[in-house]
Amino acid sequence: GAGVSQSPRYKVAKRGQDVALRCDPISGHVSLFWYQQALGQGPEFLTYFQNEAQLDKSGLPSDRFFAERPEGSVSTLKIQRTQQEDSAVYLCASSLVITPTANYGYTFGSGTRLTVV
């Protein structure tokens, strides 16, 4: 597609519910990142995929968070047993190359706003 697409745009979950957030990167993009942006804060890194391989998951805050990209394109971020502190905007970004350069940078999606009540 023309850009990075994320769905749903908004999600309200009851505490304890499981949620799945989807990211459709630009076709052919090798690198895919997930970031979490709490209210009033900048985005914080969660995890990184190079094609289907999850090479860095150091930012995942707990074992309730799980991400996958099984075919190296679409990625899903799953949060189990959601808590109020999980409320945030979840951003996905993709890049054509492994280490973005001047000509091939990151493209961000519009994000999914998750509210846990």
Where does this chain touch another protein (CB under 8 A) — which range of 8-16, 17-25, 75-83, 102-110? Answer: 102-110
- Contact, 49 vs 43, CB < 8 A? no
Eight-class DSSP state of 25: -
95 binds another protein (CB under 8 A): yes
Residues 33-62 binding another protein (CB under 8 A) are 33, 35, 40-45, 48, 56, 59
Residues 59-78 binding another protein (CB under 8 A) are 59
86 φ, ψ to 5°?
-80, -10
- Taking the C-alpha atoms of residue 60 and residue 46, their distance in angstroms, rounded to an integer, is 5
41: CB partners within 8 A, 6+ apart: none
The footprint of another protein (CB under 8 A) covers 3, 31, 33, 35, 40-45, 48, 56, 59, 91, 95, 98-100, 102, 105-106, 108-111
